[in-house]
Amino acid sequence: MLGALNHVAIAVPDLAAAADRYAELGAKVSAPQDLPEHGVTVVFVELPNTKIELLHPLGEASPIAAFLEKNPAGGIHHLCFEVADITAAAETVRATGARILGDGTPKIGAHGKPVLFAHPKDFHGALVEFEQA
């Protein structure tokens, strides 16, 4: 079921400073993109084999705001894996006994594709995102 690692997401307290750091190292860095449905502003750092998604809170109810309260310097937030079929992936995840967060309905993610998140307690402490390829 698992495809390529699409990105590693890092929550950051200062989005511009984080984006600048990767740009200084020669990476291609996207413009910031607000995703109100997810409560975040994102910047993508493109690498030859994957991407880094820099996450910053968008609004006070953002789940990233809560993450940064616990981790003021920021930190790795989640891993995103590509899947061929998001509905089949959700069924497979549930069949293993793992939980899908929210109501289980895919939302449209930063790449304009359906995504789901699995509970970190079911993945050894790592929040895992699945994105339809």
Rounded alpha-carbon distances, angstroms, from residue 130 to 34, 41, 121: 20, 19, 16
Tokens of 14: 């200062």
129 is catalytic: yes
Segment holding 77, helix H or strand E: strand 75-83
Q: Given 53, 82, 129, 131, which residue is catalytic?
A: 129
Tokens of 57: 């809170």
Which residues are identified as catalytic? Answer: 129
